[in-house]
Amino acid sequence: MNRLGFIALMLGISLNLACLSPASAAEDKIRLTGSGASFPFPLYSAWFKSFSRAHKNANIDYQAKGSGAGVLDFINRTVDFAASDAAMKPEEIAKVQGGAVLLPMTAGKIVLAYNLPGNPKGLKLPRDVYPDIFLGKITKWNDPRIQAANPNHKMPDLPITVVRRADSSGTTYVFTNHLSAVSPEWKSGPGAGTTVNWPSSDKIIAAPKNDGVTATIKQTPGAIGYIEYAYALGAKVEMAELQNKEGEFVRPTAESGAATLATAQLPENLIAWVMDPEGAKSYPIATFTWMLFYQQNSDPVKAKILREVVEYGLTEGQKISAKMGYIPLPENVVSAARAAAVKIQ
């Protein structure tokens, strides 16, 4: 072999070795991106970090942009998957090229968190009172209707500041559907949706995402707002006891949330709502939340990893749900989601 041939051989060997280097292996790691609901973000973030550590070939990046933004990203196919507390409407699903698979992956409670002097615990709000607070009809914390429900607390002469979502939100969708179910005036007024026309008032302020609403409540004396239970737990804000359909005042707990979801009837498309649950032990506002997947994916490797993500969430992921403030899925829901996940191809 002449000198030029030897150099060419050595260069070839060097290039092959470079292909086996750690840097190249890192480049081969498949990145999956998702966006959507902030409601389940703390739990999903923990799932995806743990999954990525255990699966060296995959890295999952999820941005909590709100359910509305996630659905839009999903329809436009700018992500590999999305998440929404509002699931998807049939007309939205029809826009997804290649079809959509919606899987309930966890569940949670929506709580009314408040910020009052002395941080009184267990404030009771009757089912005809809290809709009127969000309608702007009850404007002071010492309103006779609030005081009557809380005889052991001297309610302060303090204006009520309502904090609501600024973005298109699945949390808003569930909350406003619940208000529509319990208040005819709300139903015929603002109504239900991921965004609604809130009453005009300088005491109704907007903040983005669950964490934004939570932070605003903490920073605003006299505030009340609707947030996912895990955010209230993490921020250590007080949460109201809400009166349910049976007339009972119920604290948001794992048990009361599970009692609510036990009344859900899961249809074939796996989209079920419980807007005003039966049962004395049921907390009034609890919901499933969904991950959105493409039925036909352009990359079979990504499709396989996404099916593995689903399986992880339905097994190991459920084990940490309660600890993080979410409601573990009933076994019948786990089985139905697992069966539907095979459609992700």
pLDDT digits (tens, 9 = 90+) for 213-222: 999 999 999 9
Question: Residues near 188 by Cβ (< 8 Å), separated by ≥ 6?
Answer: none
DSSP lists the bridge partners of residue 113 as 225, 239
Query: What pLDDT is attached to residue 9?
Result: 40
Exposed e or buried b per residue across 98-134, where buried means at least 16 C-beta atoms within 10 angstroms of its C-beta: eebbbbbbbbbbbbbbbbbeeeeeebbbbbebbbbbb
Lowest mean pLDDT among 4-18, 30-44, 174-188: 4-18
CA distance 330 to 339: 15
pLDDT tens for 125-178 read 999 999 999 999 999 999 999 999 999 999 999 999 999 999 999 999 999 999
CA atoms within 13 A on the CB side of 142: 6
Model confidence band, residue 83 (pLDDT cutoffs 50, 70, 90) = very high
- Return the minimum-mean-pLDDT range out of 55-59, 136-140, 227-231, 233-237: 55-59
Residue 4 dihedral angles phi and psi, to the nearest 5°: -65, -40
Structure token pair of residue 315? 């097994």
Task: Record the pTM.
Answer: 0.87
Q: Residues of the chain with pLDDT > 70: what percent? A: 92
Q: What is the pLDDT averaged over residues 333-338?
A: 94
Backbone angles phi, psi at 13, to 5 degrees: -65, -45
Q: Under DSSP, is residue 248 helix (H, G, I), strand (E, B) or coil?
A: coil
What confidence tier does 76 reach under pLDDT thresholds 50, 70, 90? very high
Q: Cα(first)–Cα(last) distance of the chain, in Å?
A: 51
Token pair belonging to 45: 């973030």
Over residues 279-292, mean pLDDT? 96
- Measured CA to CA, the distance from residue 211 to residue 64 in angstroms comes to 10
Question: How much is the mean pLDDT over the chain?
Answer: 91
143: tokens are 């309103």
Q: Helix, strand, coil % (nearest 5) of the chain?
A: 40, 20, 40
**What 3-state DSSP class applies to 226?**
strand
State residue 141's pLDDT score: 98
- Residue pair 326/287 in contact (Cβ under 8 Å)? The answer is no
Average pLDDT rounded to a whole number, residues 325-342: 94
Compute the average pLDDT of residues 323-329: 93
Domain ranges of the chain: 30-108+286-343, 109-261
Tokens of 298: 């352009």
pLDDT tens-digit readout, 87-139: 999 999 999 998 999 999 999 999 999 999 998 999 999 999 999 999 999 99
Report pLDDT for 293: 98
Q: What pLDDT shows up at residue 265? A: 87
CATH code of domain 109-261:
3.40.190.10
Q: Each residue of 8-35: pLDDT tens digit? A: 443 343 434 344 334 344 457 899 999 9
What pLDDT sits at residue 11?
37
Which architecture, in CATH terms, is 30-108+286-343? 3-Layer(aba) Sandwich (3.40)
